[in-house]
Amino acid sequence: MTDEIKNPPVPMTEDQFEQALRRAHSDQDQQLRRPTILVCGYTGTGKTSLIQSVCGRGVVDDDKIVHGRPGTMDYLNYQSGLVNFWDSQGFEPGQTEAQFLETSRKFVRERQADPNLDNHIHLVWYCIQGSGARVTATDVELIRTVFSNVIVVVTKKDITKHQQMLAIDEVLQREGVLPTDIVAVSDEDIESRRDLVRLSYAKLPEAYRDAFVAAQYVDLEQKQRRAQAIIHAAASAAAGIGATPIPMADAAMLVPVQMSMIAGLAAIYGSLEEAPKGALLTMAGEAVGVATASSLVKAFPGAGSIIQGGVAAAITEGIGQAANQYLIACYEAKIAGEETPAFHFDMEQFKQLVNSKRRQLLG
């Protein structure tokens, strides 16, 4: 097949790319269902700092973290576009355990009575301080009869003695809590927080998992696994479009799939709100634009003037991997408090990715 085509593809304008990405952004935003997580436990168990240590200062500001005195005097609501936390009042001086129990029961009952399922409590992190604490009858009552879908989070792991942890585990398991639903964490131990994130992902209803993965800041590997699933799904969709071979000049038919893929990736790395503007728009335009430009024919000699399923999938996979690498760099810069890096589309690397995928798909 010839590398020359009669009707070379016309590059999309910047405005067209922005409109396409905005549509994909809007669709992705509507698809993400924000989970609601209740964080409950006695005063001083580190509930508020736990939320911040998992989901960052975008959800809980530093001034909400109070050390040495009761910090949460009522049910406080911390939220972003990706996650909704209720931080329960602790067991305060002057309050009886019966009152604490009834207040918690009433709060849960009100949430679960909401006709909108998105406002229900989807998961509970029940916090018990590991150091110097014990499992009380109220803890047991709340975990067993008031809450459902509970993870018991033993906080302050770094100052909890081994014997204290064993004693807490023993009581909880005797009361019917599965050992797999108990996680010990500390602010200084990122791996322990990753354990909490992974267990939370597994226990959340499936519809709310993507938003939670996007909201959490501690487990990049979880984000990467979900990102690869998005890329592969988009490549499969592109292959379906190319199942009936399309002229190279009509390569723009793949753009909605590719923009949707990039919006999905941006959501996973917590960059969805910035997607239609700035660096992410530049990245989307440059990455997706290569598949609609006449240079595509020169970049892949022998591909001809027709895009078939395997080629469409390979191009989309290559764009997805390039976008994914950039979004990881943006995510890491955000965590480190650094400026968003500039995007540079590496054509040679893209060609290697595409040719590798083509060989894999075409045998």
**Which tokens sit at 353?**
């990715």
At 153 the pLDDT is 96
pLDDT of residue 197: 96
Q: What is the pLDDT of residue 348?
A: 80
Distance CA 265, CA 268 (A): 5
Q: How high is the pLDDT of residue 297?
A: 56
Q: What is the pLDDT of residue 31?
A: 76
Contact 238, 316 (CB under 8 A): yes
Mean pLDDT in consecutive groups of 10 residues from the start of the chain, 363 residues:
42 64 73 90 86 78 41 68 85 72 89 93 94 85 92 93 92 95 92 96 94 91 93 90 64 79 85 58 70 56 61 84 89 82 79 74 59
For 300-339, b/e burial (b = at least 16 CB within 10 A) is beebbbebbbbbbbbbbbbbbbbbbebbbbbbeebeeeee
Backbone phi, psi, residue 85, to 5°: -110, 135
What is the phi/psi pair of residue 94, to 5°? 90, -10
Give the pairing type, strands 36-41 and 150-155.
unpaired
Which of these, 288, 290, 275, 289, lies nearest to 340 by C-alpha position? 275
Map out the domains of the chain with their CATH numbers. 14-31+219-362 (no CATH), 36-204 (3.40.50.300)
Answer for the pair 319, 287: CB distance below 8 angstroms, yes or no.
yes
How far, in Å, CA of 189 to CA of 183, rounded?
12
Is 151 in contact with 121 (CB distance < 8 Å)? no
Predicted local distance difference test score (pLDDT) of residue 66: 39
How many angstroms separate the CA atoms of 354 and 360, rounded? 10
